[in-house]
Chains A and B, each alone.
Chain A
Amino acid sequence: MIYSADSADKYKERGGLKMLKRNFAKVLAVVMILSTMLIGLTSCGKSAETQAQKEIEIKFPSFWVAKDSKAKVMSELINQFNEQNKGKIKVVVEEIADYDAYEDKMKSNIAAGTMPDVFIFKTGAMAEPYYKSGKLMDLTQYYNDGWKNDFLPGVLDSVTYNGQMLAVPYEYGVAPALYNKKLLAEAGYDHFPKTYTEFFDMCEKMKAKNIVPAAQMTGANAWTSMLWYSQLVVAIGGPDVYKNGLDDPAFLEAAKMMQKLFKYTTGDAVGATAAVTAGHFLNERVAILLNGPWFIGRIKNEGINNMYDNVEVAPAPLYEGGKGSEGGYIGFVQSNIGAAKQTDKNKEKAVVEFLKYLTKPENVEKLSVDSGSLFVVKTNLKPKDGKVERLQGEMIEQMNKAPYLVPHFQLMVSPSVGTEFPQALSSLVLGEKTPEQFIEALKAADKK
């Protein structure tokens, strides 16, 4: 094993040099073949990139692609933009349909120091690290140029951080109760309950008829149940409840209500995912589902027994003695569009031009009509002018009438609390934790 002069001599004697050369030649050949093969493969990845050098290319990774409801119009809009700016600006969309993968990729890229030119990110507490990073383009001067008049009042506050406006708020979400009026009628109700007392009465009557009142879930991010909780917290503590943090007694009271709500749901609620709750609702196994406008299309296409005609929308019930008011709505900016700081002024202008194009009222109108989504940009759409789909129109109407719109829980607390919520909720409803311990668990997550 140890190199010795002895073996070196032998090696010389055997005329090893020749042999060595031959071996080297062999290895070299293999390496060369391999590397040419690999270079060949590399080069076929890059196709027509050598086009006119002056054109500014904007990279836009997007999940509004594939089967997303906004995909079709979005791609038309971008094609049109590229057509209008031919030779000057070209937006190249990177398609990432899977939302989790999208977020993983954006985060990894930003952490690795390469923020995409334009990208979509979450809002509320989830947006803060992006604002703090100092890597986002400051859009303040452009907004002040009149652009901000395109937006609904107040929404730009959500993208303002330390006096800078760092993103474009875009899609809006509301989360009212979607209910199957046929199932409600079977329990003797022709309208959605206005108060929780009435609501629980109805639950009892439904239970007697073997109808499961509402879908709940604790799997994944506990979406539907998280919306119930958000709604309860505001109904009990009023629209300013988040100012006091988790110490506000409303959070505890709402936890107690969640325990009660889980008595009137399906047996698989603990651990259920959004696919399960959607499946229950679309198969008429539950009467009520809290969800947003994006679910309307599925009711239309997938609900059994022509479900769509039987579905109505209502604000969640009022909590008697609470600080909330009737008709209160959960409403939140669903997604922000962000842009990376650019060193090249021309590119910065191009990016802003693209962002302004995306928020042009007529473009947003097209997107909204075709996808059923809501946006924070002012449009001329009227809820009942025939262009807007029925349930979407009802949501807009109720939203406009709502005394307040408060974002959902996950956007109002730190990301860690949002992550811990499904776990704490399942312990709560399984009786492993008391409501007090539930609040403690959320607070503990906040500290970690």
Chain B
Amino acid sequence: MRKISISDKIGMILFLAPAVILFTVFFVYPVGFILVTSFTEWDGMSSPVFVGLRNYTTIFKDPIFRLAIRNNIGWVIAGGFIQVPLAVIVALMLSKKPFGWKALRTIYYFPNVISTVSLSMMWMAVYNSEYGILNGLLKILGLGHLQRNWLGDLHTAFYSVVLYGVFYIGYFMIILLADISSIPKSYYEAASIDGATKIQQDFYITLPMIKGTIGTCMTVAMVYGLRQFEQTYVMTNGGPANKTMVMVLYLFKKIGDFKYGIADASAVVLLLIGSLVILTVKRIFRTENN
């Protein structure tokens, strides 16, 4: 291990200080606040009353919260194992610089610039059974029997909310493409002299080189899957029959019901589950370290 000089140490402290201070003020303190109130019954107006672990037993006994956890896992899988791999594939394709790749790179990012509300509104219209284009498309394709009220159907609502966003890969594709473009060209030149095809180059050079970034993207996608809120809130508000409920929406509704204690207990559970997910992904992609 390299020794760190004292001037470096001072630099390190100075460099870490702003992040640590802001983090303490805007994360450690608020999370502490949430943790404390999670042991109380609090309507946000009168004084909180200490109730021990009751909020935690309440939410774990609540089948709706358990369903929310399951759904969040669905979101995590969709983000980490469908969306990111798709982004990797597209990033690899664009890294070959096909015709118009710059324009494509920009356009693929468009949906991330539009607000979630308007994006969700459009998809609600797509899925609508009265005037939606999905049912229209199925009819044209001779699959009329599949037509349904997508967001109002017990079996399709959850998938409908989750899946449309999976194909909006711009966010991750940009990160991956940037990383791919920083791989020295010489690596590929050597490989093509050895007769490796483009696909082989992708597998043996590019993918290993961007493994760390893929891990980064997967972590971010999964964390967003756990924190998922706006899309569900706008499109289904957790319905029908709570089938699309997710943890943050659950806690949001509890705040609406003046149940801050329960809301904060669900936030704590979310943090715990999320930490587990992050640590697992980190372990899997550990080789990238050192």
Chain A residues within 8 Å of B, Cβ to Cβ: 1-4, 7-8, 10-11, 16, 19-20, 23, 27, 103, 107, 110-111, 129-130, 132-135, 218-220, 266-273, 276, 280, 285, 414-416, 419, 422-424, 426-427, 430, 432-433, 448
Chain A residues whose C-beta falls within 8 Å of the C-beta of B45 in the assembled complex = 110-111, 129-130, 132-133, 135
Verify A7–B6 contact, CB threshold 8 A: yes
Verify B14–A27 contact, CB threshold 8 A: yes
Report which of A23, A267, A414 forms a contact with B149, defined as CB distance below 8 A. Answer: A267
| With A8-B6, A416-B257, A416-B259: A268-B149 Cβ-Cβ less than 8 Å | yes
Report which of A16, A19, A107, A423 forms a contact with B239, defined as CB distance below 8 A. Answer: A423
| Nearest CB on A from B48, distance (A) | 10
* Closest chain B residue to A212, Cβ basis: B130
Bound-state CA distance A270–B5 (Å) is 66
Q: Does B58 contact A (CB under 8 A)?
A: yes
Bound-state CA distance A435–B44 (Å) is 34
Report which of B5, B7, B241 forms a contact with A427, defined as CB distance below 8 A. Answer: B241
Verify B6–A268 contact, CB threshold 8 A: no
Chain B residues whose C-beta falls within 8 Å of the C-beta of A272 in the assembled complex = 152
| With A110-B45, A129-B44: A1-B4 Cβ-Cβ less than 8 Å | yes
Which 10 interchain pairs have the tightest Cβ spacing?
A: A270-B152, A271-B152, A133-B45, A426-B240, A427-B241, A111-B44, A415-B257, A267-B129, A129-B43, A271-B151
Verify A415–B258 contact, CB threshold 8 A: yes
* Closest chain B residue to A6, Cβ basis: B3
Verify B6–A11 contact, CB threshold 8 A: yes
Q: Which of B1-18 contact A (CB under 8 A)?
A: 1-7, 9-11, 14
| With A110-B44, A134-B46: A11-B5 Cβ-Cβ less than 8 Å | yes
Q: List 11 A-B contacts (CB under 8 A).
A: A7-B3, A11-B5, A218-B152, A266-B130, A271-B239, A419-B256, A419-B257, A422-B239, A423-B239, A430-B152, A432-B241
Report which of B1, B153, B239 forms a contact with A218, defined as CB distance below 8 A. Answer: B239
Bound-state CA distance A197–B153 (Å) is 30
Chain B residues whose C-beta falls within 8 Å of the C-beta of A107 in the assembled complex = 44, 255, 258
Q: Which of B131-168 contact A (CB under 8 A)?
A: 149, 151-154, 157
Bound-state CA distance A64–B63 (Å) is 39
Bound-state CA distance A19–B5 (Å) is 13
Residue of A10, A16, A220, A448 most packed against chain B (CB within 10 A): A448
Chain A residues whose C-beta falls within 8 Å of the C-beta of B58 in the assembled complex = 448
Bound-state CA distance A276–B129 (Å) is 11
Report which of B5, B11, B129, B259 forms a contact with A268, defined as CB distance below 8 A. Answer: B129
Chain B residues whose C-beta falls within 8 Å of the C-beta of A4 in the assembled complex = 3
